[in-house]
């Protein structure tokens, strides 16, 4: 049986807003195995993206425990979390989040440089070629289409060969054909590099491509799938 | 129609408040405030001088004479027209304290007065007592600085020439001190009749007299001045009256004020960069609104007017804040300023300087906002469907370029007219424009270089450096904005630093190498031979030069009033030294004409300094009339010769044939070049042998001159600091405007695994790089300005001054670093998830 890569025990997230405290995640427990592809689905506001952020250490849980590759993320400081992501995680966002002052090549090379890779730019160039953008490496994000930007973001997330790939609605801002091309690329990258993939999506066909689907509703795992999530 | 509609739209948009316009308002208000404050202080001093004219002058009117007392008929003329007349004698001398062989000497500017002095105002003394009591029985009062230098205490005795005096009090306020020009020594006040037997007012001695008159109320001054001119004509007198009690001071304040306004305009130009950036950022955010308005049918004019009106309202607000500050700050600090000024000042709110500052503010705001406003024309309705920003490249329509040039012309023209310094204004404007262009080019070069460097192989793996360089070289306007605003402010400071250092260098460093140790005046004819023999026998003395010296005023050139030919040339301002010589002085270079024969005894001839003659438009063969001791001498110009005033040696504008001045009482001046170590002994020896002569230590005189220059440099530096503060605000504005972008960037970098330390280092490095670029350009611009001023205005060699230059680069780096780091806290502390989600 494969090892557990991500484990959440009663993970909770509450945020203080103008209207008072809002409980976003109300005790999530689940385990994700190495090499698995997991789809997080559910209506808007159900807490899917927040759950993904907790898994990536981008958001700090207000309760419970989150373990990734055996490390307790809730016990790590902000810089230690950054170093952990640098070594083990890749994140793809709906809005791409490329750094506007950097070219495509520089964007892709950045996590490799941060990880101290000597050949960061060569690897970044190869990664860009893999997503079909070898000829756009000198372009700034503002000079590229949404689909191209997302491909750069995919290359950036995959370049350090992370153990875990987190993707937050990566096709949400793209048209159908472009979105499908991006998903093919994402699954292709995962297949080639063997990472664990956690994917937030609204698209049913995307969720169906995953090994497993977890449905969230009102900050909790929906009962019909809760049992499977706990497997 | 469109204007009414535009004003309604503008009003609705402004309901959103002034967010995003704080930098706009601060820049404009500060620039206007600095100019208004300088103008207010200048106007206050001028009003004070005018109000207190009689006190400063020491009378309602005064007649000044050089070298002589008034003749009885002249005195009678004055007494017939005045309620009271007071006679003042002013000369330099040495105050000597002899404590049983331990002798202290100090140069002093003696003012000998009669019992009528002062006609107006009051001399304040410490200990407090009436002046008449203090000066009775060989009493004297002195400035504190001289009392301290001589180690005198009240009641102790000292000598002036051969006369002995007793210090009875220290002067704390001399009401008419502003009327005198630049004195080389601190003041000593004595009674004129107490100088009898001192040997100090012998014929030919250098002294000036002033006859102050108290006139009956309602006396018409202009008429009386004309009468004096007509009835006492040819006597070489100088008329002054209370309408302008201290013309030299008034002119100085006027010039310095005008110059400071020019420095203030540089500040406004720096503020303009911030104003422009703020408007651009505001309009960028309004692209959607503009596109929507156009979708709904608004034409280009309506949209343009909508935003022009908003900017106009904000400009008016900024100007009002600036005027309030500029008018009230001098009022609030009036007691402090008054205490430091040796002049009276009538602090109040004066509309003139405020109107001038408002005009500059309005013109500058329009100049710097017209291009961003013109860009609203380029927004198409389709922009609503795309994420298009306003900062598209390219030039605006020709009409906007022409309007910009017209506004620039208006600002420079207004400054030239108001300052009265047209040439300086034009050169300053050209300098500013040059610096502006240089900074824009430098910002562009810095950006390209950073972009290239960011991609250099050597930097691969050095993430912090590459990220910082990538950011400096990437798209966005922060690089240009920061380099421009900070660079302009630093350029002004660098230019002042270079000019000041070169000016001081020329005086402090270069002059002492060639200057004599002592400059000696009032050597009587019968003392000259002994004086020279004594010094020639002294092995420490290298050279002694001497020349006969009289003083006179050039009144006419070719039979016409001198000013008609030579305008207000400095040679005509007051009296000048005149010498005579049978042969050309040793080493003299005659550049035109010929020197007279050694035995020449015909009509008076004169040799004129070549450079000054050219400036005054004199030619060989011209005749000039010189009033010497009340007697007019008409002489023909027969030669021009080079005179070098920069060595502090003996140099006369006018040199005549000996017969022309025969019989006129006169004294001699001498320069002594000696070992620095022996200076004290030489002075003691001379002063003991010839108590009446005055020896001026050249080093002391240089110190006094540098002291005055230091004061001027300080005033200008304060003006330049206002410019730098404006630059700082623009800088903070740019840093604040970039905060959102940096927060986002930090969030993405954290997601990719960057630690806070590396992100902070990245931010710090990029700030430092921008500061460095601005500082380097400032040094070049400041150096160029320094070179231009030293070469063309001061006519000395330019030497690059590294200390202020290094300070400026360091300052630039520190300022940008501080501004950058001040706005790094939020980006560093923000949680990535929240920042990124907000952008989804």
Between strands B541-557 and B560-561, the pairing is antiparallel
Question: What is the mean pLDDT of the segment spanning B391-419?
Answer: 84
Share of chain A above pLDDT 90, in %: 47
SS3 content of chain A, % helix, strand, coil (to 5): 40, 25, 30
**What residue of A is the nearest CA neighbor of B829?**
A78
pLDDT category of residue B204 using cuts at 50, 70 and 90: low
Find out whether B817 and B768 touch, Cβ atoms under 8 Å: yes
CB B781 within 8 A of CB B430: no
Domains of chain A: 36-60+83-229 (3.40.50.300)
pLDDT in tens, B424-469: 788 888 888 888 888 888 888 888 888 888 878 777 777 788 888 8
Residue A33 has pLDDT above 70, yes or no: yes
CA B225 from centre of chain: 32
What sign has the CA pseudo-torsion B219, B220, B221, B227?
negative
Interface test with B, best of A58, A66, A115, A122 (most B CBs within 10 A): A58
How does strand B631-641 pair with strand B667-674? unpaired
Residue A165's pLDDT band (boundaries 50, 70, 90)?
Answer: very high
Cis ω for the linkage preceding B127 (within 30 of 0) = yes
Residue B568 near residue B582 (C-beta atoms within 8 A): no
Angstroms from B463 CA to nearest CA on chain A: 6
* pLDDT tens by residue, B673-696: 888 788 878 888 887 888 778 887
The confidence score (pLDDT) of residue B393 equals: 53
* pLDDT at B183 (0 to 100): 59
Determine the residue of chain B that is closest to A157 in CA distance.
Answer: B752
Answer whether A99 sits within 8 Å of B755, measured CB to CB: no
Q: Residue B285 phi/psi, 5° resolution?
A: -70, -15
Coil, strand or helix: which one is A30? Answer: strand
SS3 B360: helix
- A217 in B contact zone (CB under 8 Å): no
Q: Which residue of B has its CA nearest to A98?
A: B748
Has residue B381 got a pLDDT over 70? no
pLDDT tens digits for range B315-329: 999 999 999 999 998
pLDDT of residue B673: 87
Does pLDDT of B2 surpass 90?
Answer: no
- pLDDT tens readout for residues B531-588: 889 888 888 888 888 889 888 888 889 988 888 888 778 888 777 888 998 888 777 7
Structure tokens at B794: 């001061």
What are the pLDDT digits (tens) for B266-307? 778 888 888 888 888 888 777 777 777 776 767 778 888 889
Q: Which residues of B touch A58 (CB under 8 A)?
A: 750-751, 831-833, 836
CB-CB under 8 Å, B460 with A49: no
Does the model's pTM come out above 0.90?
no
Q: Is the peptide bond before A4 cis (omega within 30 degrees of 0)?
A: no
Residues 6+ positions from B6 with CB-CB distance below 8 Å: B301, B302, B303, B305, B306, B308, B309
Q: Around B85, how many Cα atoms within 13 Å sit in the side-chain half-sphere?
A: 17
When CB atoms are compared, the residue of B466, B753, B839 closest to A111 is B753
CA B514 to chain centre: 27
Q: How far is CA B795 from CA B340, B503, B611, in A?
A: 33, 10, 12
Q: For residue B539, which of B648, B670, B685, B647 has the smallest C-alpha distance?
A: B685
CB contacts under 8 A, A 151-210 vs B, are: 156
Name the nearest CA neighbour of A38 among A2, A78, A76, A77: A2
The DSSP secondary structure of B716-779, one letter per residue, reads: HHHHHHHHHHHHHHHHHHHHHHTHHHHHHHHHHHHHTT--HHHHHHHHHHHHHHHHHHHHHHHH
What is residue B647's predicted lDDT score, i.e. its pLDDT? Answer: 65
pLDDT given for residue A203 in this prediction = 82
* CB-based contact, A56 to chain B, within 8 Å: yes
Chain B: give the shortest CA distance to residue A130, in Å: 20
Residue B406: pLDDT above 90?
Answer: yes
Strands B102-113 and B84-99: antiparallel
Q: Residue B100 CB: number of other CB atoms within 10 A?
A: 5
DSSP string, A138-199: T--GGGS-HHHHHHHHHHHHHTT--SEEEEESTTTTS-HHHHHHHHHHHHHHHHHHT-EEEE
pLDDT tens-digit readout, B252-269: 777 777 777 777 777 788
Residues of A in contact with B741 (CB under 8 A): 100
**Are B749 and A118 a contacting pair at CB < 8 A?**
no
Q: In this structure, what token pair is assigned to residue A160?
A: 């350090």
Query: A95 and B757 in contact by Cβ < 8 A?
Result: no
Judge whether B110 and B91 are in contact, CB under 8 Å.
Answer: yes
> In Å, how far is B467's CA from the nearest CA of chain A?
8
What is the C-alpha to C-alpha distance for residues B631 and A56, in angstroms, rounded to an integer? Answer: 102
Coil vs helix vs strand at B828: helix
Task: Tell me what ipTM this predicted complex has.
Answer: 0.74
∠ Cα B755 B759 B760 (to 5°): 115
Which residues of chain B are within 8 Å of residue A118 when distances are taken between CB atoms? Answer: 461
In this prediction, residues A189-217 reach a mean pLDDT of 89
B754-772 residue pLDDT tens: 888 888 998 888 888 888 8
Strands (E), B100-149: 102-113, 124-126, 139-143
Most confidently modeled of A73-82, B455-464, B617-626? B617-626
Instruction: Label residue A64 left, alpha or beta by phi (over 0 means left) and psi (-120 to 50 means alpha).
Output: left
Cα separation, A165 vs B165, in Å, equals 100
Which range scores top for mean pLDDT: A198-212, B355-369, B394-408, B563-577? Answer: B355-369
What is the 8-class DSSP label of residue B793? I
Q: What residues in B contact A50, CB-CB < 8 Å?
A: 833
Chain-chain contact of A140 with B475 (C-beta, under 8 angstroms):
yes
Does the distance separating the beta carbons of B471 and A140 come in below 8 Å? no
CA pair distance A38, A196, nearest whole angstrom: 8
Task: Among A95, A97, A115, select the one facing B753 at the smallest CB separation.
Answer: A115
């Amino acid at each position: 049986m494969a090892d557990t890569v991500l484990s959440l025990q009663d993970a909770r997230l509450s945020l203080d807003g103008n209207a008072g405290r809002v409980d976003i995640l109300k005790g999530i427990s689940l385990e994700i195995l190495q090499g698995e592809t997991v789809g997080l689905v559910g209506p808007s506001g159900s807490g899917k993206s927040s759950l993904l952020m907790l898994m990536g250490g981008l958001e700090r849980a207000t309760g419970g425990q989150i373990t990734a590759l055996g490390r307790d993320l809730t016990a790590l400081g902000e810089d230690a979390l950054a170093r952990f992501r640098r070594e083990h995680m890749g994140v793809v966002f709906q809005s791409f989040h490329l750094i506007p002052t950097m070219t495509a090549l520089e964007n892709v090379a950045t996590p490799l440089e941060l990880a101290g890779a000597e050949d960061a730019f060569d690897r970044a160039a190869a990664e860009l070629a893999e997503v079909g953008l070898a000829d756009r490496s000198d372009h700034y994000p503002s000079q590229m289409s949404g689909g191209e930007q997302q491909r750069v973001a995919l290359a950036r997330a995959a370049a350090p060969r992370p153990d875990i790939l987190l993707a937050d609605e990566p096709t949400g801002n793209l048209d159908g054909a472009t979105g499908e091309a991006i998903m093919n690329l994402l699954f292709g990258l995962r297949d080639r590099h063997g990472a664990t993939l956690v994917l937030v999506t609204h698209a049913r066909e995307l969720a169906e491509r995953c090994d497993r689907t977890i449905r969230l509703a009102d900050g909790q795992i929906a009962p019909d799938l809760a049992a499977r999530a706990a497997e | 129609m469109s204007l009414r509609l535009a004003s309604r739209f503008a009003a609705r948009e402004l309901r959103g408040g002034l967010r995003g316009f704080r930098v706009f308002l601060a820049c404009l208000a500060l620039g206007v405030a600095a100019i208004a404050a300088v103008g207010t202080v200048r106007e206050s001093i001028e009003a004070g001088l005018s109000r207190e004219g009689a006190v400063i002058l020491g009378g309602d009117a005064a007649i000044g004479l050089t070298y002589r007392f008034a003749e009885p008929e002249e005195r009678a003329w004055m007494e017939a027209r005045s309620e009271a007349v007071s006679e003042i004698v002013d000369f330099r001398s040495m105050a000597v304290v002899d404590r049983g062989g331990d002798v202290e000497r100090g140069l002093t500017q003696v003012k000998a007065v009669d019992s009528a002095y002062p006609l107006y105002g009051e001399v304040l003394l410490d200990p407090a007592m009436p002046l008449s009591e203090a000066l009775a029985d060989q009493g004297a009062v002195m400035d504190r600085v001289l009392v301290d230098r001589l180690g005198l205490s009240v009641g102790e005795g000292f000598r002036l020439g051969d006369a002995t005096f007793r210090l009875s009090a220290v002067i704390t306020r001399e009401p008419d001190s502003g009327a005198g020009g630049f004195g080389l020594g601190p003041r000593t006040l004595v009674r004129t009749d107490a100088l009898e037997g001192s040997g100090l007012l012998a014929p030919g001695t250098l002294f000036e007299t002033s006859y102050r008159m108290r006139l009956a109320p309602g006396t018409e001054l202009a008429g009386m001045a004309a009468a004096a001119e007509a009835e006492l004509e040819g006597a070489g007198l100088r008329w002054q009256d209370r309408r302008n009690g201290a013309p030299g001071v008034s002119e100085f304040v006027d010039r310095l004020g005008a110059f400071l306004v020019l420095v203030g305009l540089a500040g406004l130009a720096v503020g303009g960069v911030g104003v422009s950036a703020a408007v651009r950022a505001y309009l960028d955010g309004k692209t959607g609104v503009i596109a929507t308005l156009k979708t709904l049918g608004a034409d280009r004019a309506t949209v343009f007017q909508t935003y022009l009106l908003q900017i106009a309202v904000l400009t008016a607000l900024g100007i009002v804040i600036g005027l309030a500050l500029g008018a009230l700050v001098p009022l609030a600090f009036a007691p402090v300023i008054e205490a430091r000024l040796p002049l009276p000042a009538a602090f109040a709110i004066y509309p003139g300087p405020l109107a001038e500052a408002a005009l500059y503010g309005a013109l500058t705001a329009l100049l710097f906002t017209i291009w961003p406003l013109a860009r609203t024309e380029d927004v198409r309705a389709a922009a609503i469907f795309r994420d298009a920003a306003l900062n598209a490249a390219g030039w605006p329509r020709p009409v906007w370029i022409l309007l910009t040039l017209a506004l620039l012309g208006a600002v420079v023209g207004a400054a030239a007219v108001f300052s009265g310094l047209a040439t300086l204004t034009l050169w300053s404007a050209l300098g500013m424009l040059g610096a502006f262009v240089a900074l824009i080019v430098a910002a562009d070069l810095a950006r390209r270089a950073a972009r290239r460097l960011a991609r250099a192989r050597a930097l691969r793996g050095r993430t912090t450096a590459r990220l910082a360089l990538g950011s400096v070289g990437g798209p966005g306007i922060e690089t240009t904005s920061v380099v421009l605003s900070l660079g302009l402010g630093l350029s002004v400071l660098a230019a002042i630093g270079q000019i000041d250092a070169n000016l001081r260098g020329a005086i402090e460093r270069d002059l002492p190498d060639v200057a004599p140790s002592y400059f000696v005046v009032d050597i009587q004819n019968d003392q000259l031979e002994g004086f020279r023999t004594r010094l020639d026998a002294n092995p420490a003395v290298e050279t002694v030069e001497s020349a006969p010296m009289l003083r006179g005023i050039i009144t006419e050139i070719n039979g016409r009033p001198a000013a008609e030919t030579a305008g207000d040339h400095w040679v005509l301002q007051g009296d000048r030294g005149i010498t005579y010589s049978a042969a050309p002085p040793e080493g003299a270079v005659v550049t035109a004409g010929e020197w007279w024969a050694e035995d020449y005894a015909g009509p008076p001839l004169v040799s004129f300094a070549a450079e000054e003659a050219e400036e005054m438009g004199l030619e060989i063969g011209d005749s000039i009339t010189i009033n010497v001791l009340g007697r007019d001498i008409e002489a023909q110009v027969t030669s021009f010769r080079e005179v070098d005033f920069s060595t502090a040696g003996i140099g006369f504008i006018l040199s005549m044939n000996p017969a022309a001045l025969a019989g006129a009482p006169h004294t001699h001046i001498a320069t002594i070049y000696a070992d620095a170590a022996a200076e004290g002994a030489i002075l003691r020896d001379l002063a003991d042998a010839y108590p009446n002569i005055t020896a001026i230590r050249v080093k002391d005189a240089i110190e006094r001159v540098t002291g005055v220059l230091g004061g001027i440099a300080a005033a200008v530096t304060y003006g330049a600091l206002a410019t730098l503060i404006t630059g700082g605000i623009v800088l903070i504005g740019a840093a604040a405007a970039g905060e959102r972008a940096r927060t986002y960037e930090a969030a993405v970098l954290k997601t990719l695994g960057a630690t806070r330390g590396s992100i902070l280092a990245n931010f710090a490095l990029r700030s430092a790089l921008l500061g460095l670029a601005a500082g380097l350009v400032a040094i070049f611009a400041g150096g160029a300005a320094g070179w231009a001023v030293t070469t063309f205005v001061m006519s000395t060699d330019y030497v690059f001054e590294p200390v202020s230059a290094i300070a400026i680069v360091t300052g630039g780096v520190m300022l940008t670093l501080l501004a950058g780091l001040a706005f790094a806290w939020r980006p560093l502390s923000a949680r990535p998830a929240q920042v990124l989600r907000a952008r989804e």
